[in-house]
Amino acid sequence: MPSFDIASSVDIQTLDNAVNIVKKEITNRFDFKGNHVVIDLNKKDYMLKLESDSEMKIQQIVDVLISRAMKQGIEASSFDFSKDAFPSGKIFKKDVSVKNGLKQEDAKKVVKLIKESGLKVQAAIMDDIVRVTGKKIDDLQDVIAACRAGNLGLPLQYINMK
């Protein structure tokens, strides 16, 4: 029976490339010359640490990060900007986490969307992926279309189509 996996992961090397491009662009910008700017990627925890002189400059770094990451093929919804920038002395800091892997509640949302679509497929949660099996490849392609149209707010990849 044909099957495929729904995953939500970010390639760490692509993310590192995007962060390096952002660092290079920020250091070359006139409005950041001579200012304190730190953009640090923790590859183990998938965390970005942003530091700057003002909250406005933090927002500019975030805008550049989103645009460069999208050019590298990373969706903007992969980043969690829910935490506000906080002052630490004269410096503002912001921690940005990168979503990697489907959490249990997100996987349940995906399975619920698939079941509500009424297609004759089975969806099973396996750790941080959702495996979808069906009798026809056309049904699996309909599931992919339903997930894309579902607006779950998750960066989903469809892998291992067999």
The topology (CATH level 3) of 3-8+101-159 is: Alpha-Beta Plaits (3.30.70)
Q: Whose structure tokens read 């002189």?
A: 53
| Tens-place pLDDT, residues 36-90 | 999 999 999 999 999 999 999 999 999 999 999 999 999 998 999 888 889 988 9
pLDDT band at 15 (very low <50, low <70, confident <90, very high): very high
What percent of the chain shows pLDDT beyond 90? 60
Average per-residue pLDDT for the chain: 91
Q: 3-8+101-159 and 12-98 share one CATH topology?
A: yes
Structural domain boundaries in the chain: 3-8+101-159, 12-98
The topology (CATH level 3) of 12-98 is: Alpha-Beta Plaits (3.30.70)
